[in-house]
Amino acid sequence: MKRQLFILFFGFLLYLLSGSLVLAQNFQFQTESNKVFQGKPEVDSLSKNNKLNQIIVTFKKKPTAGELIKLSRKSKKSRLKYAITGTDAMVFEVSEGVIQESLNELRADTIVESAVVDKALDLLYIPNDPAIKATPAPGKPILQWSLYNLNLVGSGRTAFDISKGSSGVTVAVLDSQVDSSHEDLQGKFSSLVDCTSGSCQTVSSMTANPSNLDESHGTHVAGIIGAATNNNLGIASTGFNTNMLYIRIRDQNGNMLISYFVNAVRYAADHNAKIINMSLGSLAANLDGPIIAQINDAVTYAWNKGVLLVAAAGNCGWNESHHKAAGDPCDIYDEAGNFVRHSVNEKYYPAASPNMLNVAALDVNNNLAPYSQHNDPTDPQIGNWISILAPGGNFSTNSDKEFGIASTWPLNSYYYNLGTSAAAPHVSGIAALIWAAKPVLTNLQVKSIIEQTANKNIASGTTNNGMVDAVKALDSLNVTITPVSPTPTGTPVLSSTPTLTGQGKPGDANGDNKVDGLDYVVWLQNYNKSVGNGRLSGDFSGNGFVDGLDYVIWLNNYNK
């Protein structure tokens, strides 16, 4: 049996004292004793539970009640515990120490297709001290540098000038525990849900603070996506007014089981989530084929219901020399649970699942963070599987902690950290801004807009599309901007349409070999229409429809 890995992509968004229009003007990290998160560094609380005692069973055909009863009674050491939502798969609980015996018994039954250990996900930490309070200092980056790098805030026109999100757009956050009483998360949860008992149930709060539920990671991720913004308190979030459906998938034993994850994904899809953020995962090499199939089936179900899927790409991009010994979250194990090797830049799930908007991490200078998973076309087992980049931060000592990402933390505090766990929620928040600005978009359109408007020149080659650019993504929607600076002086009038000769420049609709305002007018007049004459009608992509992608082509070639 492969040893299960818990994978945490831990990194967070930095929201501190700033003069920005959208940031809390008087924010500073709390230093009072009642505001400080006391205890050991968070990484120390993540003791892995290797005594997993659940088996996922799939069947050759849908079993009858009698067949399930008979199967469950075959062994006195296992019992049918619950079903996985939306599938015929069942979860059996097994007595400690006899899991291999139970696997053999179940696999031998004629109605069973597969029987595998219910593996677990986890929250992958970068080795450093996360419990660091910060004060801005000379020579350090601007405190909310990740928002500036993404063009959410800054000088001139920004993404928050175009969209401030909407409480009508819900991001489902699948994570550990969250401190729902945090001062900067009040009013931001549409619902709190626990999916660790075989079904998903709403709960009134998540503030008990049991150490094995690790509410710090979930609180941090939630803050990046949806902390209350422009409220003169704490931090600003990427999603601004966005709502969150928070789903806990870490149980009292510290496990984040695949069966919990599958039920949570389906629950989110069935309860009006537009986006699912997954700052978690497991190395593909540590997952059995049937487990990967369960993950893929769940996310495909959500995708087919119109949900955008966002996942952290993983924190095992370091070279082999970085790993000092067995025991870190990038380890590979054999079927018997024995350490085999360290993983270097291998695929993760659910990030590698179909239709996933998977996210690698950047540092403050827009370089690939050294820990981040990345594309490698020279290795056929890896290839070009990662889509985009977003800030995840990078620091190695307390003295340079400001180069990490900060966000909400339990007990009304705010902490720095780093990882692809931070990168993914940046993207989820931006996706929520896009959907708020144009609710008629499909999940495929939102995904395409984020990918097609990304800056491919940043960390070129490490992902397929480069770094997310929030302004370009929102610009592609042709949304009315309030306020706009500078104020437009009017729309140019197209007096005639010259005859097109050849293909011309990309974005050149009227064939005058220039890409200018006249071409924009052609695009605008045909926006959201099906056309048959290509760029003559502003269809610069040639897909037969004039949409936001054609605007991006025009914008990228304007005045060139």
Distance CA 191, CA 213 (A): 18
Distance CA 364, CA 370 (A): 12
Q: Are strands 331-333 and 339-342 parallel, antiparallel or unpaired?
A: antiparallel
Which tokens sit at 514? Answer: 């220039």
Q: 138 burial class (0-12, 13-18, 19+ CB within 10 angstroms)? A: exposed
Distance CA 492, CA 518 (A): 7
Please answer whether residues 200 and 267 qualify as being in contact, where contact means their C-beta atoms are separated by less than 8 angstroms. Answer: yes
Q: Which of 377, 348, 343 is nearest to 361 (CA)?
A: 348
Confirm whether 413 is a catalytic residue: no
Distance CA 205, CA 219 (A): 13
Confirm whether 217 is a catalytic residue: yes
DSSP character at residue 142: P
- Cα separations in angstroms, 239 against 119, 243, 279, 381: 32, 8, 16, 35
Catalytic residue among 421, 428, 537, 541: 421
- Cα-flanking dihedrals φ and ψ of residue 400, to 5°? -120, 30
Catalytic residue among 122, 161, 175, 297: 175
Confirm whether 421 is a catalytic residue: yes
Q: 389 burial class (0-12, 13-18, 19+ CB within 10 angstroms)? A: buried
> What is the helix, strand, coil percentage profile of the chain, to 5?
25, 20, 55
Q: Which of 216, 237, 234, 210 is nearest to 226 (CA)?
A: 237
Catalytic residue among 217, 220, 342, 426: 217
What amino acid positions are annotated as catalytic residues? 175, 217, 421
